[in-house]
Structure 1
């Protein structure tokens, strides 16, 4: 499959079944319109606007009645309140295993990472995606590891690298503790180029140890998995 980064937390996966595209978290901080072009299915980790651009997604669903969205409960409610057809939006819970556009999707998670003890934690789902022996994990706004790993580890681990809820040490621990062939940084809209460079140095395997490749993608750039 092919992974394409669309900015911030949004990625799309072109599956090896003839070209179906699965999109994860088309939010307002990335290029949601580009990500949704040709989308066969959409996964939403949680209801924050940088992870779900409700107007853009509702418009896409209205124009493509065969496209379905799987989302956390609050994100699904936000889409329905925004005008999305109820029959195209499904709520998910941790522990479910779904068949989405031909991919096996294992739902995990539960809570957004802590921003502040007095800030209510959003419901945050994670997604382990497997197809034809290839795998990718999107943690949303958390560093919760997959409940289950493929026998030979992940092909791609998406690692959030900026945000009001994180420390770089947590990103480093996450990258080091979840076996993966490639680490791709996401959730990066708040980083300057200096911040990206610093983050890349700290997450590089020469400093951390391990055997993964650290691969930062520019918006619109693709990676063969």
Structure 2
């Protein structure tokens, strides 16, 4: 069963959300009456025949996404903000709004997306999209960056929807103040990268993320109801073994709930 048919056939009850895996950090989140996508990367725009070639095909085509009410984009790297995904998707879902930091906004407007479909939130100030309350949180993709005139180039998002609170980190490391920022929410489901960083990838210009230990420690520090590791499966040179995450998390707390969400797979979370 494909993702779109699955969404069409699923009814989401009270105090629940459905999550459909899309690979890398991408996820479709389904509420009672609407659907929100985070960082959909549904092409091979940056990798055909090269080092960024996908390890698996996209779970659906961008023009098949006809049910998007909103799309959250975390930053302007092609596996997170891909014009070849966003533009066909925007045509298939003509009412969808796109929430993004200034870097992604600039790329998409230059690529032809109408500026009135874009929402650029202020950090810490919630916006309402697709029936959800969405709050942007700064992310630090290796380092915490800030432009005095334009804001933060990397976002994570806290999504409060249908009685469930979700944190999607996008790409980030743990920086001074992140735990304090997030401690204001009781997070039910968190999506956190585990691919880490190292000298050799940094030397190639590849920005870093939390590794499997840090992601697990963050789950403990903030008492996540359930953690979904991300950013380990799409690119062979910049992935991770999710088994290491599971093993380390189990060593910290055997009762900490977690889920490896495969592309095309459904996670139904109910409180």
2:37 matches 1:23: yes
Alignment counterpart, residue 245 of structure 2, candidates 199, 202, 216: 199
Alignment counterpart, residue 222 of structure 2, candidates 153, 167, 178: 178
CA deviations on 1:141-168 (whole Å, 9 max, x unpaired) are: 11444725576x2210112111541333
Q: State the match for 1:119 in structure 2.
A: none
Alignment counterpart, residue 126 of structure 1, candidates 146, 156, 172: 156
Alpha-carbon separation, structure 2, partners of 1:220 and 1:183: 18
Alignment of 1:117-156 (within 5 A): 123-142=153-172, 143=174, 144-145=178-179, 147-149=181-183, 153-156=186-189
Alpha-carbon separation, structure 2, partners of 1:99 and 1:42: 12
More strand by share: 1
Q: State the match for 2:138 in structure 1.
A: 109
Alpha-carbon separation, structure 2, partners of 1:63 and 1:132: 26
Structure 2 unaligned spans of 5+: 1-16, 44-53, 145-151, 198-207
CA deviations on 1:32-75 (whole Å, 9 max, x unpaired) are: 73684421110011011111221121122134331110101000
Alpha-carbon separation, structure 2, partners of 1:186 and 1:146: 22
Alignment counterpart, residue 107 of structure 2, candidates 72, 78, 89: 78
Instruction: From the CA coordinates, give the structure whose radius of gyration is larger.
Output: 2
